[in-house]
A and B are shown apart, each in its own frame.
Chain A
Amino acid sequence: MLEVSAIGKTFHAGTPNEVSALRDVSFNLSEGSFLIIIGTNGSGKSTLLNAVAGTFPLDRGSVTLSGHDITKWPEHRRAKLIGRVFQNPYSGTAPNMTIAENLSMAARRGLRRGLAWAIPRALRSELRDRVRTLNMGLEDRLDNDIGTLSGGQRQALTLLMASWLKPDLLLLDEHTAALDPKSADQVIRLTNEIIKRDKLTTLMVTHSMQQAVRLGDRLIMMNRGSILHDIQGAEKARARPEDLLQRFEDVRRREQLDAPVAEMLRKAYV
């Protein structure tokens, strides 16, 4: 389904700010699987999702999705196969356009956009029905600008938009991180429902250990641009928040150890 083979990305190569955000990351994801990605800040989680979505060209490696080698595809072309929700609630919707207009664009994700009416009557009633399933009362506010909504409402709508036409792959990048706990719960519940209902193949980044253990059927932990752990099947089902925290702690200790050692070596040899 999704094959990520040895992809690498270095930002600001050849400058003092050089960062190897991805170092030969490889994994395969089978159809319908729901992969959770965790890792410390700056470990490359967002970069991995962006690499799959095509936000920037890769330095090395290839990405194959649904039998297409999409490595060279520009972002907007990949959108035919990929639905996306961003961390920032402002990123996924056009604030000065109405709910209906925003959704109507999602109804044509990856399709040709011509001179047909954006919101024909049939679509309008479908919009109302689908928005009603969010249980947020937004079905009566279809002509309000999205900019007037709360972050939680926007993320719920973005989620609906990303999954309006069933995507081959759904990308969620800490899409509840900017929300208050109550809205976050609501959006997570909705996420789970949609993924289960449509059997969506999903990559989801999260910082919440609760979400990481409760959701998904596979979990990878990233560190410094590589995959450190890959937990699947029964082991994933058994995992508890404390186990994951323990693994973070291990990473931290190893790195603390690494730093003095590196310093010592530098002093000795440079």
Chain B
Amino acid sequence: MTLLLGASTVGLILALLALGVYLSFRIFNFPDITADGSITLGAAVTASLLVMNWPPALATLAGFFAGALAGAATGLLNAKFRINGLLSGILVMTALYSINLHVMGKSNLPLLEETTLVTQSESFFGMLFGPGDVQVFGWEVDQRDAAALCLAAAMVAGVGMILYLFFRTEFGTAMRAAGDNPQMIRALGGSVDFILIFGLAVSNGLIALSGSLLAQYQGFADVQMGIGMVVWGLASVIIGEALVGSKSTGIVITGAIMGSLLFRLIVAIALRWGLDPNDLKLITAVFVFLALVVPGALTALRSRAGRAR
């Protein structure tokens, strides 16, 4: 039970990453590798501020804005300096590695005694239900685990809702159009450059928020924690799309959240069954490869079979 609870919590926290990746990869069709650096940046900024005894909410918000800044930098490199999108992300990601080390002052920053959003929601739980374990559908659940799960769920639900509403505003609609057909939105007076920079800022802000929460949940920030996270987010988005089978924004947002949750649960179970953790990233990469290739191959196969008949 604790295993599933922990996996769900991490799945929900990384759903924020998935939403950020959805924004760059799916809305803008922009392969934004910045994510690997910005998720660590969010963790690093929040952790360092928490060590300096900042209020957790503010430290988390600062993590978000640091990530937004990184995303804006990538957007600027691409839109203003006309550097290839992939390369723009790689440049910022590489720079962030050093920046993250500077922010943390060392490669691993533990949060042992600090007050975090997780410890705060734990004490809030304690006030609500009294001390000791919590009963959930007859299961005894550790209070910290339950509190963290609720915190993550609330954050993801809030962010998902805001994102959904945002995409229905004038600016949000223009943002989707900028990804769908930049020529069209330009002809209607939208600055594609500005929209892209803003969109990547939001995307990486969400990814950094994910890192910030992750650090608070696992109790440390580590300079290596971002490696491979883009692929992880992409896998979640792809699973989500397969789950919901629809392209409408609201449903896809829900799908990405479910995808992240499901993916993390599958991984937790696989690890439990004896999967070597070292193979995890390889398997994730192969999975994303298959998810990208198989649907196209199936269509080709089907049309060939159709012609043969």
Contact = CB atoms under 8 A, between A and B. Distances in A.
Interface of A: 53, 74-77, 79-80, 84, 86, 90-97, 101-102, 104-106, 108-111, 113-119, 161-162
Given A80-B189, A94-B176, A116 B170 contact: yes
Given A76-B190, A109-B189, A92 B169 contact: no
A94 B185 contact: yes
B190 A97 contact: no
Interface in B174-191: 174, 176-177, 180-181, 183-191
Given A93-B184, A94-B184, A113 B190 contact: yes
Given A96-B180, A96-B247, A105-B177, A77 B189 contact: yes
A128 B168 CA distance: 19
Contact of B170 (A86, A93, A115, A162): A115
A137 to B, nearest CB: 23
Contacts of B177: 94, 97, 101-102, 105
Main secondary structure of the interface of A (DSSP, over half): loop
Contacts of B181: 90-91, 93-95
29 contacts: A76-B186, A76-B191, A79-B189, A80-B189, A86-B183, A91-B181, A92-B187, A93-B181, A93-B184, A94-B176, A94-B184, A96-B247, A101-B176, A102-B177, A104-B170, A105-B177, A105-B185, A106-B188, A108-B170, A108-B188, A110-B188, A113-B190, A115-B172, A116-B170, A117-B168, A118-B168, A118-B169, A161-B188, A162-B187
Contacts of A105: 173-174, 177, 185, 188, 190
B171 A53 contact: no
Contacts of A84: 187
A77 B173 CA distance: 19
Main secondary structure of the interface of B (DSSP, over half): helix
Contacts of B183: 86, 91
B192 interface: yes
A77 B181 CA distance: 17
- Shortest 4 CB-CB contacts between residues of A and residues of B: A79-B189, A110-B189, A94-B180, A118-B173
Contacts of A110: 188-189
Contacts of A92: 184, 187
